[in-house]
Chain A
Amino acid sequence: MPLEAYVAVSAALFVIGIACMLSRRNVLYVLMGIEMILNAANINFVAFNRFSGDGLDGRMFAIFVIILAAAEAAVALAILLNVYHLFRSVKPSDADLLRE
């Protein structure tokens, strides 16, 4: 398949991730949206790596992104638990202490 096909899938997944982050009122969806966005980026990395000939850089970058995502998920879940503990809610709209 041509490069454009992969980039299109990646772009679509990115958009879905953005929409997921914006449209739901649960912090977990924000988390899932971020994972989708990172996956979209990974598809791009690997695809460009594949289509630009030999080399490892793109795949390496994808691996680091996965590592980052794992770390981020762990911290995010911990934050989520704390937010729930503080606000008795998992809606990001309720966590509006910054406003005060």
Chain B
Amino acid sequence: MDFLQFNPETDYKLLLAVPLIPVLGYVLQIFFGKQLKRGDILLTAGMFTSMCIALLMFAKALNAAYAGEVFLHESVKEWGGWGWLYQSEPGVNLVAGIFYDPLGAAMLAVVTVVSFCVHLFSTGYMHGDCRYRIFFANISLFTFAMLGLVLSDNLLFLFIFWELMGLMSYLLIGHFSHDAKSGFRGWATWASQKAFMTTRVGDVCLLVGMLMFHQHFETFQFTELWSAAAETVAANGGQYPAWMTVAGLFVFGGTIGKSAQFPLHIWLPDAMAGPTPVSAMIHAATMVAAGVFLLGRTYPLMSPMALEVITVVGATTALFAATIGLTSWDLKAVLAYSTISQLGFMVTAVGLGSVTAGMFHMTTHAFFKACLFLSAGSVIHGCHHEQDMRLMGGLRKKMPITFICMFVCTLAIAGIPLFSGFYSKDKIIMAGFERVLDHDHFSGAALYGLVALAIAAALTAFYMFRLIFLTFFGEYRGDQQEHRYSGMLDEHGRGGHIVYHDHDDHDDHGGNAHVPHESPKNITIPLMVLAFLGVFGGHFWLASSDPLANHSKPWFATMVSESTLYGDEISGWLSPEPHGHEALEHLEHLEHTAHLSAVGTSLTVALLGVFGAWLLYYRRRDIPAKVVAAVGPLYPLVANKYYIDELVTRYVIRPTLALCRALKWVDEKVVDGVVLGVGRLNRTAATVHAWFDGMFVDGLVNGVGHLTQAFGSIVRLIQTGRIQQYLSFAVAGSILLAAWLILS
């Protein structure tokens, strides 16, 4: 099929149009939003166009992958780039171009689909908001930043879009900070600042790492960086130089900030202070995906030691966030911590050496997490902006569409077979088994990662089904207000009793304001689209009709693997092909064992988690309270998110403020004290000397004064204040000077 071939002449223009349409929408909405009236529809339509183009380009990439062709396209080589800071000296040139590879193709499709769904969802969910126009403009620019980041062919431009995304997340999380009616205005302001400042720590790390690589390799282009890394390692006798580990870890610092890894994860749960569509964007397609995407782009630069650190950080994050998810009562907070946990999965996968698995999980996760967040938004919308799960329950019958969407996506995230999450998560666990079972590549970090991920996967299934049982099963508890204060609230009272102010024109419910209801169509349609992708995103377009037999090679693995990501040369260097019959057999055996173990583990932990949730939150509802009592201080520890926020407040923010206060004190007491003391001393001395002055000095001073006055009146004769007179003096002076120069 000809039209599925990549054509550099036209396709780069199409690719360019994908990010440019949202940015055009942004400009229109910002400058002509008032005249446009229905700018939201225009922007959603623009996003739809953008999505269609992205899907067409995605089809080309997929076609190439199934034909077994290499699909690495760099506009700098094939079509042209945009020179920037262009100089004749080599090493300083910066040429920005488009880099379109299978990973980029997948990301582009995911981002545009999710963004389109979020746009559509927002037309219903945000209706009546006082900053509706600005919201749409911002969310478009947010999408633009992510698309630009995906298409960048060099680290510097990736960084620029990265920063733009940080800014847009700041603006969007703080959306309600200008809404006087909103109940959490202060929280939104605080959360947006927190997100901005926390990710900034990571951004600085990324900048440092980026510059270290540039200093040694003198380029920002990804392809050149990869081959430079391969050459450097080859020249170093197969060993990574130490600076590469350090620089790689700095780059990973960017991922820690943006993808909310431990210990910089604290901004993500608070990011839900923004409107729910923004949360869906941040958690699924944009912010957090950017960090993992960066890891995918820079994977060949990471030394084994850096990869071990990445594994440990990712696995820790996955496990630790999952435990917090167990105890939270806020619907969105559970989802937020599950995002952190799933991001931990992706990062661990990269650390274990399986970029494919990590990126695959990012893709499937984007769909089902966006669906979960939007469903949560629908639930919150239906329950009149109530977020406490203890005040929900029994919504299955009242909101059937939302229930079905959320349920299938929960199945996906819990890792039930046939749903997309199973395939990706299974691949990650399989990567872990491959590392652990293989004696040559065994490392403690890999074992730790595997165990932590298995536990985290069980916990994921548990807390997600807990959410489903609490929200959709049982009796509706929305009218039992006393529940609200019976449970445990965190120290700010957040997560417990946030009551979002109902919109004035929110009138699509009946007479009784307390009866939850199904949401309108423009809310449910994006849900259904995303739920469909959440279910089938993992295995559509399979090579064989039996999904179970073939599940280790779904479309994503066909399309994105090390050889398609980085080209044959680099991937050959990263993981050399085994030679000889024995080695091949060993590898095959290993893969087989890992595969079986992974499937077994995934299934076991998922079912265990689901069963646990069913038992504790559906069958025997008295058990959770007993468990809480039994574990003693452990529960408050987890429920308060391991006091990380408090630790940061105590050991980072407070010392800073204390330092400021101390400096202020020094300024006020010591510096001002010295000044004031000198002043007082002077006053005393002055009083003492006053009479002396009056008696003796005055006479002298007056005398001097008279003298000065007399002298001044003489000098004043020439100080007339008339500029022309001064001018004639100047001319005369110059003539005299010239005469002296000539005559002497």
Residues of A at under 8 Å CB distance from B?
18, 21-22, 25, 30, 92-93, 95-100
Cα–Cα distance between A29 and B722 once the two chains are bound (Å): 15
User: Once the chains bind, are A99 and B731 in contact (CB under 8 Å)?
Assistant: no
Contact with A along B711-741 (1 / 0, CB 8 A): 0000010011111100110010000000000
User: Once the chains bind, are A22 and B728 in contact (CB under 8 Å)?
Assistant: yes
Query: Please, which residues of chain B bring their CB within 8 A of the CB of A95?
Result: 721, 723
18 extra interface residue pairs, beta carbon distance < 8 Å, beyond A96-B722, A99-B719: A21-B724, A21-B727, A22-B724, A22-B728, A25-B724, A30-B723, A30-B724, A30-B727, A92-B723, A92-B724, A93-B722, A95-B721, A95-B723, A96-B721, A97-B721, A98-B721, A99-B716, A99-B720
Cα–Cα distance between A97 and B731 once the two chains are bound (Å): 22
The smallest C-beta distance from A89 to any residue of chain B, in angstroms, reads 13
Query: Please, which residues of chain B bring their CB within 8 A of the CB of A22?
Result: 724, 727-728, 731
Cα–Cα distance between A18 and B719 once the two chains are bound (Å): 21
Q: Which residue of B lies closest to A29 (CB)?
A: B724
User: Once the chains bind, are B724 and A99 in contact (CB under 8 Å)?
Assistant: no
User: Once the chains bind, are A99 and B721 in contact (CB under 8 Å)?
Assistant: yes
Query: Please, which residues of chain A bring their CB within 8 A of the CB of B731?
Result: 18, 22
Cα–Cα distance between A6 and B490 once the two chains are bound (Å): 91
Q: Which residue of B lies closest to A96 (CB)?
A: B721
Q: Which residue of B lies closest to A24 (CB)?
A: B724
Could you say which of B720, B724, B727, B728 has the most chain A C-beta atoms within 10 Å of its C-beta? B724
The smallest C-beta distance from B735 to any residue of chain A, in angstroms, reads 10
Cross-chain pairs A/B with CB under 8 angstroms, 25 sampled: A18-B731, A21-B724, A21-B727, A22-B724, A22-B728, A22-B731, A25-B724, A30-B723, A30-B724, A30-B727, A92-B722, A92-B723, A92-B724, A93-B722, A93-B724, A95-B723, A96-B720, A96-B721, A96-B722, A97-B721, A98-B721, A99-B716, A99-B719, A99-B721, A100-B721
Cα–Cα distance between A100 and B720 once the two chains are bound (Å): 9
Query: Please, which residues of chain B bring their CB within 8 A of the CB of A21?
Result: 724, 727
Q: Which residue of A lies closest to B728 (CB)?
A: A22
Query: Please, which residues of chain B bring their CB within 8 A of the CB of A97?
Result: 721
Query: Please, which residues of chain B bring their CB within 8 A of the CB of A93?
Result: 722, 724
Q: Which residue of B lies closest to A97 (CB)?
A: B721
Q: Which residue of A lies closest to B731 (CB)?
A: A18
Query: Please, which residues of chain A bring their CB within 8 A of the CB of B727?
Result: 21-22, 30
Could you say which of B716, B720, B723, B731 has the most chain A C-beta atoms within 10 Å of its C-beta? B723
Query: Please, which residues of chain B bring their CB within 8 A of the CB of A30?
Result: 723-724, 727
Query: Please, which residues of chain B bring their CB within 8 A of the CB of A92?
Result: 722-724
Cα–Cα distance between A96 and B721 once the two chains are bound (Å): 4
Query: Please, which residues of chain B bring their CB within 8 A of the CB of A98?
Result: 721
Q: Which residue of A lies closest to B724 (CB)?
A: A92
Cα–Cα distance between A22 and B725 once the two chains are bound (Å): 8
Query: Please, which residues of chain A bring their CB within 8 A of the CB of B722?
Result: 92-93, 96
Cα–Cα distance between A21 and B722 once the two chains are bound (Å): 13
Residues of B at under 8 Å CB distance from A?
716, 719-724, 727-728, 731
The smallest C-beta distance from B727 to any residue of chain A, in angstroms, reads 6
The smallest C-beta distance from A59 to any residue of chain B, in angstroms, reads 26
Query: Please, which residues of chain A bring their CB within 8 A of the CB of B720?
Result: 96, 99
Cα–Cα distance between A96 and B724 once the two chains are bound (Å): 11
Q: Which residue of B lies closest to A18 (CB)?
A: B731
Query: Please, which residues of chain A bring their CB within 8 A of the CB of B724?
Result: 21-22, 25, 30, 92-93
Question: Closest 9 interchain pairs by CB?
Answer: A99-B721, A96-B721, A98-B721, A93-B722, A92-B723, A92-B724, A22-B728, A96-B722, A18-B731
Cα–Cα distance between A97 and B716 once the two chains are bound (Å): 14
Cα–Cα distance between A40 and B368 once the two chains are bound (Å): 82
The smallest C-beta distance from A30 to any residue of chain B, in angstroms, reads 7
The smallest C-beta distance from B713 to any residue of chain A, in angstroms, reads 13
Query: Please, which residues of chain B bring their CB within 8 A of the CB of A25?
Result: 724
Query: Please, which residues of chain B bring their CB within 8 A of the CB of A18?
Result: 731
Q: Which residue of A lies closest to B735 (CB)?
A: A18
The smallest C-beta distance from A37 to any residue of chain B, in angstroms, reads 11
The smallest C-beta distance from B717 to any residue of chain A, in angstroms, reads 11
Could you say which of A30, A98, A100 has the most chain B C-beta atoms within 10 Å of its C-beta? A98
Cα–Cα distance between A21 and B731 once the two chains are bound (Å): 11
The smallest C-beta distance from B639 to any residue of chain A, in angstroms, reads 70
The smallest C-beta distance from B29 to any residue of chain A, in angstroms, reads 42
The smallest C-beta distance from A99 to any residue of chain B, in angstroms, reads 3
Cα–Cα distance between A99 and B720 once the two chains are bound (Å): 6
The smallest C-beta distance from B541 to any residue of chain A, in angstroms, reads 69
Cα–Cα distance between A16 and B723 once the two chains are bound (Å): 18
Query: Please, which residues of chain A bring their CB within 8 A of the CB of B728?
Result: 22
Query: Please, which residues of chain A bring their CB within 8 A of the CB of B721?
Result: 95-100
Q: Which residue of B lies closest to A98 (CB)?
A: B721
Cα–Cα distance between A95 and B722 once the two chains are bound (Å): 7
Cα–Cα distance between A30 and B722 once the two chains are bound (Å): 13
Cα–Cα distance between A96 and B720 once the two chains are bound (Å): 7
Cα–Cα distance between A22 and B720 once the two chains are bound (Å): 15
Query: Please, which residues of chain A bring their CB within 8 A of the CB of B719?
Result: 99
Cα–Cα distance between A93 and B725 once the two chains are bound (Å): 9
Q: Which residue of B lies closest to A100 (CB)?
A: B721
Cα–Cα distance between A18 and B724 once the two chains are bound (Å): 11
Query: Please, which residues of chain B bring their CB within 8 A of the CB of A96?
Result: 720-722
The smallest C-beta distance from B371 to any residue of chain A, in angstroms, reads 65
The smallest C-beta distance from A10 to any residue of chain B, in angstroms, reads 15
Cα–Cα distance between A99 and B721 once the two chains are bound (Å): 4
Q: Which residue of A lies closest to B725 (CB)?
A: A93
Cα–Cα distance between A22 and B731 once the two chains are bound (Å): 10
The smallest C-beta distance from A84 to any residue of chain B, in angstroms, reads 15
Cα–Cα distance between A30 and B723 once the two chains are bound (Å): 10
Cα–Cα distance between A21 and B724 once the two chains are bound (Å): 7
Cα–Cα distance between A25 and B723 once the two chains are bound (Å): 11
Q: Which residue of B lies closest to A25 (CB)?
A: B724
Cα–Cα distance between A2 and B722 once the two chains are bound (Å): 41
Cα–Cα distance between A100 and B716 once the two chains are bound (Å): 10
Cα–Cα distance between A45 and B740 once the two chains are bound (Å): 24
Query: Please, which residues of chain A bring their CB within 8 A of the CB of B723?
Result: 30, 92, 95
Cα–Cα distance between A95 and B716 once the two chains are bound (Å): 16
The smallest C-beta distance from B657 to any residue of chain A, in angstroms, reads 50
Cα–Cα distance between A96 and B719 once the two chains are bound (Å): 10
The smallest C-beta distance from B734 to any residue of chain A, in angstroms, reads 10
Cα–Cα distance between A96 and B723 once the two chains are bound (Å): 8
Cα–Cα distance between A98 and B731 once the two chains are bound (Å): 20
Cα–Cα distance between A88 and B727 once the two chains are bound (Å): 23
Cα–Cα distance between A24 and B715 once the two chains are bound (Å): 26
The smallest C-beta distance from A28 to any residue of chain B, in angstroms, reads 13
The smallest C-beta distance from B709 to any residue of chain A, in angstroms, reads 16
Q: Which residue of B lies closest to A21 (CB)?
A: B727
Cα–Cα distance between A68 and B728 once the two chains are bound (Å): 23
Cα–Cα distance between A100 and B722 once the two chains are bound (Å): 12
Cα–Cα distance between A93 and B727 once the two chains are bound (Å): 12
Cα–Cα distance between A99 and B716 once the two chains are bound (Å): 8
Cα–Cα distance between A96 and B728 once the two chains are bound (Å): 16
Cα–Cα distance between A99 and B722 once the two chains are bound (Å): 8
Cα–Cα distance between A97 and B719 once the two chains are bound (Å): 11
Cα–Cα distance between A23 and B716 once the two chains are bound (Å): 23
Cα–Cα distance between A48 and B724 once the two chains are bound (Å): 31
Cα–Cα distance between A32 and B728 once the two chains are bound (Å): 16
The smallest C-beta distance from A96 to any residue of chain B, in angstroms, reads 3
The smallest C-beta distance from A95 to any residue of chain B, in angstroms, reads 7
The smallest C-beta distance from A46 to any residue of chain B, in angstroms, reads 22
The smallest C-beta distance from B730 to any residue of chain A, in angstroms, reads 10
Q: Which residue of B lies closest to A22 (CB)?
A: B728
